[in-house]
Amino acid sequence: MIIDLQNKKILVTGGAGFLGGRVVDALVARGVPRENISVPRSSELDIRKWENCEAAVRGQDIIIHLAAVVGGIGANREHPGSFFYENLMMGVQLVEAARLVGVKKFVALGTVCAYPKFTPIPFKEDDLWVGYPEETNAPYGLAKKMLLVQAQAYRQEYNFDAIYLLPVNLYGPGDNFDPKSSHVIPALIKKVYDAKIAHAPFIEAWGTGSASREFLYVDDAAEGIVLATERYDKPEPVNIGSGMEISIKDLTELICRLMDYHGEIRWDATKPDGQPRRSLDVSRAEKEFGFKAKTDFETGLKKTIDWYVVDRKN
C-alpha cells in the first residue's frame, strides 16, 4: 500500500543536514506542506536524551531518522566510543518513543559500514551478518546496525512499521569539507583545491589507493528514502546505492583531471585503506519501490567540485 504523504506530520531528524535538507525538499516536491515537516536542530533538541525523544515524536505520523554522528576513517579511529554511544542512544530511544505514541511509520537509516569487512561483491542485504565490520568504523557501523535488529523485533512483537535502509557513501554540493571529519570525496576535492592555490607539486592521499568505493549522489539518495517511505513495508533491509564501483586511486586521478591539477599523487601507506571493496547489489530497491539512481558519477562529481570552488570564492 502506498502512503499518501501530503496530509502527514513528518519528523526528519538531521533534516537541516547535508542529506536531510534534500529529503525535506523531496517531501515538499511530493506536496507535503513545509509546516507539516518538523526539523529539530541538535542544538535545540538533543535526541541522545530520552525526554527529548519523547518531545520530538509527539504528534508525528512518520519519523525519518537521518541524524547521526559521522566522519571519515580518521574521525572513526579517534572517536570510536562516542560514535558508538551517541548513534546507538539516538536511534534506540527514538524508535521506542515513536512506538509508545503510536507513530505510523519509522524509517531508519543505517550505513554501508554495517557490512562485514570481507563481504562478497556486490554486497547483498542477506550478507549483512556473515562477519564483523571493518575495524576502523565497526563501532559506528554496529551502533547503526542495532536499528535493524530493533526494527525487526518491534515489527514482530508490536506490529510496528519500521523499515531499515542501507545507503552507500554519499556525495554532492553542500557536503562536509572539514578535513577532521569529511569523507573521501570532499577530503580529496579540498586537498586538490588547496594544492592548486598553493602551486604545490604534489598531494598526499591516505592508504594505497587500492580500496574501492561506491558513491551515490545526495539528491538520488533523498529520492530513494522518500520512495521507501511511501512504498516499502517489510522487515528486510534495503540497499540504497548506484551500483557503481571505483578504486580510490582512480577516484583521486579523476578529481585531479576534473580540477585540472597536474601534480603528483603520493600515497601514504602508513594510513589505513579501510574496507577493501564496497559495491552494493541495488536490485531490491528497484524491485520493491522502484528506486534507481539517475545521476552519472562524473556529472555529480563536477557539480560537487563546482559548488566547492564557488563557495570558496564567496
Residue spans of alpha helices (H) in 163-247: 184-198, 218-231
Q: Which residues pair with 106 in a beta bridge?
A: 63, 162
**Distance (Å) of CA 64 to CA 19, 27, 60, 165, 297:** 12, 11, 11, 11, 26
Mean pLDDT, residues 49-55: 96
* Any domain includes 61: yes
* Any domain includes 10: yes
Crossing angle of helices 184-198/248-258, nearest 10°? 40
Percent of the chain residues topping a pLDDT of 70: 98
* Contact criterion met (CB below 8 Å) for 31 and 3: no
Residue 115 burial class via C-beta count within 10 angstroms: exposed 0-12, middle 13-18, buried 19 and up: buried
* Any domain includes 130: yes
pLDDT in tens, 82-131: 889 999 999 999 999 999 999 999 999 999 989 999 999 999 999 999 99
What does the pLDDT read at residue 78?
A: 84
Read off the pLDDT band of 181 (50, 70, 90): confident
**Distance (Å) of CA 150 to CA 55, 94, 106, 265:** 21, 11, 11, 44
* Any domain includes 82: yes
* Any domain includes 304: no
Read off the pLDDT band of 157 (50, 70, 90): very high
* Any domain includes 180: no
pLDDT at residue 76 greater than cutoff 70: no
* Any domain includes 267: no
pLDDT at residue 79 greater than cutoff 80: no
Q: What is the bridge-based pairing of β-strands 202-206 and 238-240?
A: unpaired
Which DSSP helix (H) or strand (E) runs through 306?
helix 297-313
The catalytic residue positions are: 140
Number of structural domains the chain divides into? 1
Q: What is the Cα–Cα distance from 79 to 180, expressed in whole angstroms?
A: 11
Mean pLDDT, residues 153-168: 98
Q: What is the Cα–Cα distance from 151 to 170, expressed in whole angstroms?
A: 23
Q: How many CB atoms lie within 10 A of CB 176?
A: 16
What does the pLDDT read at residue 11?
A: 98
Q: What is the Cα–Cα distance from 207 to 237, expressed in whole angstroms?
A: 31
Q: What is the Cα–Cα distance from 183 to 180, expressed in whole angstroms?
A: 9
CATH for 104: 3.40.50.720
* Any domain includes 193: no
